Every structure is written in structure tokens, then in C-alpha cells.
A = this chain, B = another copy of it.
Amino acid sequence: MSSAPWSRDRNRIGAAMLLLGDRVAAAGAEATGLRGGAPAALVSLLGWADGHHLDALAGGLGLSHSRTVRIVDGLERDGLVERVADTVDGRRALVVLTDEGRRRAEAAVAARSVVLDDVLAVLDDDQRRAVAAAAERVLLDQAVDRRTARHICRLCDVVACGHRDGDCPATRGADRREALPPTEGESR
């Protein structure tokens, strides 16, 4: 059997990607009871933004400052997040997860994993590994800077991702491009 034309393969990849995106978004919304950018905000907080100031979160989410303010307002209203004043710089509002917020964020991450498992269950181990290797290559290639990397990783399970031990492809790709010292500690 000769291989299908690339246009056909390409289209299938796009369709499967769209399906996964829909499912993941729905799962995140259901697991947190939140919609729009709020689930991603929660997960990003869990991953890297906890205790950071509001603008850093906005940058990582790829949202405007004002939008991020409203999202944090909502999370605070729901008791998932607290604003604490930065003792060093009084202008800054540091956003910290509450215990309940952490639980919700973890639930969102878990829900995403469940969906991915479900959708990918039909593949065999070799296929899953092949897709993962391709994904790693794509991430290394596409994460052109740290801000982009954080945006890509806005729904990541930071532990699984490898963020903690320097194995996150997006971060690695970004560092390579920016020629930062690879041990640089997450800049502002």
C-alpha cells in the first residue's frame, strides 16, 4: 500500500488535533466549573505562576492585563486564589493559590490526562511513543521564547512535563533560541 498523499495525512492530523483540543477544553471546564481562560489560569498557577504577580500570569496566558485582572477577580471570588501584597514592591499583587484552588487545578490537570488517555487509548505503545517524539520535536521547534513556551505550557502538568527537572521541550526550545544560561531560574 502506497502512502497517502501528504495533503490527506496533513488533514487528518489537523482533524485529530481539533478533536483533542475540544475534548481537553471541555474536560478542563467541567473539572473546574470554570470557563474561558480561568481553567488555564488555574493550571498555570499550579505550574509556575503561583506567587508571581499578575502581569507575569497575563504574559504566560497570552491575555491582556485587564482580562487577567477579571479572571483573578473571579478566582478570588470563588476562593481559589488570593491576592497578597508584595512586601518588596507595593504595587504588585501577587496571586497565590488557596488549598481549594490547588485542588481544583490538580483536578483540571487530571481531567486533561484522562481525556488524553481516553483518546489515545486506541493507539499501540509504539504509536504513542512515535507521536510523543514528534510532539517533542514540534515543541522544541516552535517555542521561540520563554513567553511563548509558557503559553504553550498553559495547560501542562508541570511535573509530567519535565519543567521541574529541565526536560520541558518548550522551555528547552526557548532557552536554545534565547541563548540563556540553561540553568537560569525562571526570570521574572
Query: A-side interface residues toward B, CB under 8 Å?
Result: 3-22, 24, 112-113, 116-117, 119-123, 127-142, 151-157, 159-162, 167, 169-170
Contacts and interface: CB of A to CB of B under 8 A. Distances in A.
Nearest to A149: B15
Given A7-B113, A127-B130, A136 B21 contact: no
Given A11-B161, A12-B169, A20 B17 contact: yes
Nearest to A122: B141
Contacts of A24: 14, 17-18
Contacts of A135: 9, 12-13, 15-17
B128 A6 contact: yes
A12 B136 contact: yes
A187 B169 CA distance: 45
Contact of A132 (B13, B19, B112, B119): B13
Contacts of A139: 12, 15-16, 19
Nearest to A18: B155
Given A21-B21, A24-B14, A8 B162 contact: yes
Contact of A134 (B7, B127, B151): B127
A80 to B, nearest CB: 22
B116 A14 contact: yes
From A8, A117, A121, A123, name the one whose CB has the most chain B CB atoms within 10 angstroms.
A8
A161 B8 contact: yes
B156 A14 contact: yes
A111 to B, nearest CB: 11
Nearest to A3: B129
Nearest to A148: B19
